[in-house]
Amino acid sequence: MHTLYEQHFRKFRNTKQWIINNFLIEQDIHITSMIRLIHLRGAIGNICDRILYGSVTDFIDLHLANPRGMCAGVERAINIANNALKIYGSPIYIHHELVHNKYVVDSLKQKGMIFIENVKNVPKNSILIFSAHGVSKKVRKLAQERCLTILDATCPLVKKVHNEVSKSSMQGKEVILIGHKNHPEVIGTLGQYENKNGKIYLVESLKDVQKLKTTLSIDDTDKIVLKLKNRFPKIHGPHKQDICFATENRQNAVKLLVKLVDLILVIGSKNSSNSNRLLELAQKSQKPAYLIDNNHDLNFFWFKNIKKVGITSGASAPEILTEKIISHLINVFNFSISIYNVPGKKENVTFSIPKELQI
């Protein structure tokens, strides 16, 4: 066996050049991308991995965080979009990304969904879906003025926050919103406050409290709320229910996961706020942690001398991405894997979709 591969590698002294010449790829492409092409040749690819990379772990214990992946609000939004296509057909327009996950968005695009950022770009009398993050009152009003059929996929938990802000606005109360400035969920929530005699303040950090979103880190939110209460003793809220339970559960699951593993993979897109919070929590453990969209983002080098790997996924990431990553580790990287489900809080919550979209 070794003689066969030695003959292949004698053809060129430089291993990289051998790969380039055999697979017709440019020299500046990362070596990991080259290896993916080698894997297409079958068993020889697995041997090449060992020759190129040296000693790597053949056996891995894979620990899956629980809960992980899509939350009830995301599932509801996707069901609304899919059922709308079945009932109305395309084209259907979606304001912003329905959820912050590339796999989900690309799948909807393939089905005929059209994503827009400005309602003015939607033809009059068309069908428009509001994303799970919600929209401001201004956007909603503009959609109505254009005679659009509105299908609202806003997460019910986000709607609760919208209602609280709108109520406070009508009562003339000032509101302090804790969240990230450019997140669409925060933009939509800020847009619920319309009282010109009052004001809504956005607080992103402890420093912002001195100057005076539900997917914020629970720990960070608690610290900010405590600081606000110390500075403004008569302040009210927030309600415990205003912090998304799915966010809290997934963050708690990561805190447990990092104690069990040597490396953490967080499945989620770069623009997913809650996925980034999971990554930050994992990184606090001082163990290697990576945010990946899918199995193609995996890097063979990460697993050198790694025995235990943890996997979690953001609230917008479908479980099929976890399955693809496990398959990649087994069939492409040639690891022998034992899978363990880490005990965690069960989520039995489901959110119903509008009656007109129920099939």
Q: Where are the domains of the chain?
A: 2-53, 59-69+246-341, 72-155, 157-237
Q: What's the one-letter identity of residue 43?
A: A
Q: Nearest to residue 91, comparing CAs of 76, 120, 71, 111?
A: 111
pLDDT at residue 19 in the model: 47
Q: Which three-class secondary structure state does DSSP give residue 115?
A: strand
Which are the catalytic amino acids?
A: 185
Strand partners, 265: 290, 311
Instruction: Give percent above pLDDT 70 in the chain.
Output: 79
Whether the ω angle into residue 238 lies within 30 degrees of 0, i.e. cis, is: yes
Read off φ and ψ for residue 268, nearest 5 degrees: 170, 160
Answer for the pair 93, 129: CB distance below 8 angstroms, yes or no: yes
Q: Has residue 231 got a pLDDT over 70?
A: yes
First to last CA, the chain: 58
What is the dotted CATH code of the domain comprising 72-155?
3.40.50.11270
Answer for the pair 143, 134: CB distance below 8 angstroms, yes or no: no
Q: Which residues contact 286 (CB under 8 A, 6 or more apart)?
A: none
Q: Is the domain defined by 59-69+246-341 classed in CATH 2.130.10.10? A: no
59-69+246-341 and 157-237: identical CATH topology: yes
Question: In 10 A of CB 183, how many CB atoms?
Answer: 18
Distance between CA 284 and CA 344 in Å, rounded? Answer: 20
Read off φ and ψ for residue 269, nearest 5 degrees: -85, 155
Q: Between 310 and 43, where is the model more confident?
A: 310
Q: Which three-class secondary structure state does DSSP give residue 132?
A: coil
Least reliable range by pLDDT among 26-40, 46-60, 129-143, 227-241: 26-40
In the numeric block, the tokens 């956007």 are attached to 139
Domain at 157-237, CATH class: alpha beta
Distance between CA 48 and CA 355 in Å, rounded? Answer: 56
Q: pLDDT grade, residue 169 (50/70/90)? A: very high
Whether the ω angle into residue 91 lies within 30 degrees of 0, i.e. cis, is: yes
pLDDT at residue 236 in the model: 73
Q: Has residue 7 got a pLDDT over 50?
A: no
Distances (CA, A) of 296 to 30, 214, 299, 327: 13, 30, 8, 11
Q: pLDDT for 16-50, tens place per residue?
A: 444 444 443 333 444 444 444 444 444 445 545 55
pLDDT at residue 212 in the model: 57
Least reliable range by pLDDT among 35-44, 144-153, 184-193: 35-44
How many residues belong to the chain?
359
Question: In 10 A of CB 81, how many CB atoms?
Answer: 25
Q: Which residues contact 327 (CB under 8 A, 6 or more apart)?
A: 295
Q: Nearest to residue 81, comparing CAs of 152, 146, 20?
A: 152
Q: Which residues contact 42 (CB under 8 A, 6 or more apart)?
A: none
